[in-house]
Amino acid sequence: MNRVSMTFACHVTESCIGSVASYVQTSPLWTP
Distance CA 20, CA 12 (A): 12
Cα-based torsion angle of the residue sequence 17, 21, 18, 14 in order, rounded to the nearest 10 degrees: -20
> Which segments of 1-32 are extended strands (E)?
none
pLDDT at 31: 63
User: Rounded to whole angstroms, how far apart are CA atoms 1 and 9?
Assistant: 10
pLDDT at 32 (0 to 100): 61
Per-residue pLDDT band at 2 (split at 50, 70, 90): confident
Q: For 6-31, what is each residue's pLDDT tens digit? A: 899 988 999 989 998 888 888 776 66
Query: pTM, whole model, 2 decimals?
Result: 0.50
Cα atoms in the Cβ-side hemisphere of radius 13 Å centred on 7: 3
pLDDT of residue 28: 77
Those residues with Cβ within 8 angstroms of residue 2's Cβ, 6 or more apart along the chain or in another chain? none
